A and B are shown apart, each in its own frame.
Chain A
Amino acid sequence: MTHARMRRGGPPAGPPDGRFRPARRSKPGLADREGFLAWAMLLPSVVYIIALVGVPFLLAIAFAFSDVTTGDPSYDFVGFRNFEAIFDDRVFWRSLVNTVVFTVITMIFIVLLGKILANILVADFRGKWFVRFLVLLPWTTPVALSTISWLWFLDSIYSPVDWVLRQLGVIDTNVVWLGRPSAAMVSVIAVQVWRLTPLAAVIVMAGLVAIPRDIDEAARIDGAGFWRRMFEVTIPLTLPVIAVAGLFGAIMTFTDMTVSYVLTRGGPTHSTDVLASWAYFRGIEGGDVGQGAAIALFLFPILLAGAIAILRAVRRLESQ
């Protein structure tokens, strides 16, 4: 789109000889072309996604059908041999179940706690910005760093959590959070919930502030109390956003290996191994890149199916 330049304070001045000449149009530059600009702006993201997501994804597919090892990058096609091997592996199935269990439970908790936290954060109170900053800290801290802190919190000997519980008389001896299968699973889920709830809260908060105030006020005038407004106004109107928060949480839990790897290294007896950590153990530490890639690839169809299901549900909700 071009704009004729106009002199302030009136029509353009004519030439001194009085004859009219049409205003000279400046030639449109690249910066004026919307199509070009759109691509130029998107290009860094596209390059990033292709280089850091697309290429590794294609490599993972190629490796999953190969006998590549950490010590031998030469490529030999082996068909479905790696998949047959991992399907025969008890630990793979255990990791798959763990991944699904961790994801579902984490998703439920981060949606629930994220909604509660978002409601608190949109309320007006003194020090609101400081509280928002504190709430966002778990999300902004690098996951490996925060998980190492949790490793110390849950240490079998020096756990400050256990120390506090002992001082309060709640326990006599240390719980050993990471040494019992059930407690270790709870610990891994709790850390995932702790680090992902702030993200869910921020997403839900964006949905909450977008609700027109007059709807809420109309409900108040009609005599609706807090809970009624919550369940019949706020939640229905923010459901698509809540679903997006849940989707983000699910994807991040499903593909994460850091929490499980740092906290328990998949133990005790593989009770906290997830697909991503088991892929790492087999592929990098064990040296069998082909099998590691086959395990990692198994994340993709499940993740894709889950994402499509949730996004479809969101679209249905939006069209209602």
Chain B
Amino acid sequence: MSEQLSRRGFLQSTAVAMGAAGIAAGCASESSGPQAKDPGQAPKEVFTAPTRKLSGSLSILMWSHFVPRHDKWFDKFVAEWGKRVGVTVRVDHINTVDVPRRAASEIQAKQGHDVIQHIAPFSQYEPSVLDMADLVQEATRRWGPQLELCRKSSYNPNTKRFYAYCPGWSPDPGDYRKSMWEKVGLPNGPGSWDELLRGASEIKRTTGVPCGIGLSPETDSNMAARALLWSYGASEQDPNEKVVINSDATVAAVEYMTRLWKQAETNEVFSWVPASNNQALIAGKSSYILNSISAWRTAMGTNPKIGDDIFFVPALRGPRAALAAQHVIQQWVIPKHAKNADAAKEFLLHYTANFPAVTYNSELYDLPGWPSLVPQLNGWLDNDPFGAKPANKLSLLKTATSWSANIGYPGPSNPAIGEIFNTNVLPTMFGRAARGQVSAKEAVAEADRQINSIFKNWRARGLVGG
């Protein structure tokens, strides 16, 4: 049969089809995000000659940004810098959840990238990374004071070392579906935890759509747990790194979460991965979540109608405060094994100097750790360059530094706090009480035992005070 497909023909046509699909997917990805209204608003990049002669190569390991535009810009930006200063630069973007294990293996093997970037506190690597004090001093000399939450996320007051360099961060506002909250008399979304309980319960009762504060072993649930604790006046540690979790305020926060889950949530929040709350909000299966602006940006590109219905509120007021955890905290570390630490430090200064471009190309996701760096920021937040409706939808982020805190607040982001975060002690504490597995007091006592044990362990290594 002449029509019969030969093996060679089959392979060729398959390859062509896959190539075409790849190109189509690439195009889809390109056009899926919001486009700048006026590309001319993009800030001009600046170049300052390095203070010393650079050569050789520089390898960078970093996350794949949630905003694809950023990585495209970054790779070009770093390559151009390398050309100008005579350094061959290689950038490896990997999934953010893979960064810690990759960093751990490189540190153990004492070889690998010259610079590693992560988006959560990296304090446990202090013994194996360079002190960034000189870099922070230089940046502070050039651009004024660094944000407190960035400093607390990169400085160890016990060893007096900067284990990381933190030029940027992202806030974690509340994201809500306006059309749902209008119907319960709160068109501007909830302003306090009490309003959240009242409004979200009413929405669930009338429409069946639950609230989306996670209780799962993942990042966003950890952020939410801390926001709730701080708003009730509770915390894991005090400013001097003494464990203070076992308090009446913590018990009250846990009791609140139990009420919220029972009245306004479902079992879903126990099964979530970091992307789940975004998906739920966009799918109309959640009335309120705590997250960055990236989910909304995605919706703007893929489903503008839903994107336009998503609005933001700052940290919810509790009995004692209105605080939210930072969503992303930039942590750039230079391992002691780095072969080109000079180039790494020069590049980080160049990167910081161009933070307006970082903010712009991350579609206002990354905010500066040295606020003076991006004088255009408030203008962008009042008049979104990427087509937000209304244009000032993000203007609440102008005050984000006043309602955001570092992981470990009111103390520093030390390794004990990191282990508590990564082993999900707080979501488990809230979750066990919510499910009725233990009482609120017992859940707090259990968490207290675990947290004390973790602190004791890291204190023995001299990395944690208290």
Contacts and interface: CB of A to CB of B under 8 A. Distances in A.
A184 interface: yes
A315 interface: no
Given A70-B124, A288-B457, A180 B423 contact: no
Contacts of A193: none
B194 interface: no
A74 B107 contact: no
Tell me which of A181, A284, A286 has the highest count of chain B C-beta atoms within 10 A of its own C-beta. Answer: A286
A179 interface: yes
B216 A72 contact: no
B461 A270 contact: no
A151 B271 CA distance: 10
A266 B424 CA distance: 10
B42 interface: no
Contacts of B100: 70, 284-285
B268 A270 contact: no
Contacts of B104: 70-71, 284, 287
A281 interface: yes
B437 A67 contact: no
Interface of B: 100-101, 103-104, 107-108, 110, 124-129, 215-218, 266-273, 276, 279-280, 283, 285, 415, 418-419, 422-424, 428, 431-432, 435, 437, 446, 449-450, 453-454, 457, 460-461
Interface majority SS (helix, strand, loop, mixed), chain A: loop
Contact of A71 (B124, B270, B423, B446): B124
Given A157-B283, A285-B423, A73 B128 contact: yes
A287 B418 contact: yes
B240 to A, nearest CB: 22
B110 A73 contact: yes
B431 A286 contact: no
Contact of A70 (B107, B269, B431): B107
A181 B217 CA distance: 13
A71 B267 contact: no
Given A71-B125, A71-B128, A267-B216, A286 B418 contact: yes
Contact of B450 (A89, A266, A267): A89
B271 A71 contact: no
Interface in A180-213: 180-181, 184
Contacts of A177: 271
Contacts of A89: 450, 453
Nearest to B109: A73
Contacts of B422: 281, 285-287
B419 A288 contact: yes
A53 interface: no
Interface string A274-292: 0000000110111110010
Contact of B460 (A67, A176, A267, A282): A67
A214 interface: no
Contact of B423 (A69, A74, A90, A281): A281
Contacts of B272: 156
A265 interface: yes
Nearest to A181: B435
A269 B276 contact: no
Contact of A267 (B107, B217, B280): B217
Contact of A176 (B103, B107, B268): B268
Interface size class on chain A is: 35 or more
Interface of A: 67, 69-74, 85, 88-91, 151, 156-158, 174, 176-181, 184, 264-270, 281-282, 284-288, 291
Contacts of B101: 284-285
Contacts of B432: 269
23 contacts: A67-B460, A69-B415, A70-B104, A70-B108, A71-B128, A72-B127, A73-B110, A85-B457, A90-B446, A90-B450, A156-B267, A157-B268, A157-B276, A157-B280, A176-B270, A178-B271, A264-B217, A265-B216, A269-B270, A269-B428, A269-B437, A285-B101, A288-B419
Contacts of B276: 156-157
Contacts of B435: 181, 268-269
Nearest to A175: B267
Contact of A268 (B266, B270, B453): B270
A67 B461 contact: yes
Contacts of A156: 267-268, 271-272, 276, 280
A179 B127 CA distance: 39
A184 B107 CA distance: 35
Contacts of B269: 179
A285 B415 CA distance: 11
Tell me which of A71, A282, A285, A287 has the highest count of chain B C-beta atoms within 10 A of its own C-beta. Answer: A71
A265 B329 CA distance: 23
Contact of A180 (B126, B267, B457): B267
Nearest to B279: A157
B461 A69 contact: yes
Contacts of A270: 428
Contacts of A269: 270, 428, 431-432, 435, 437
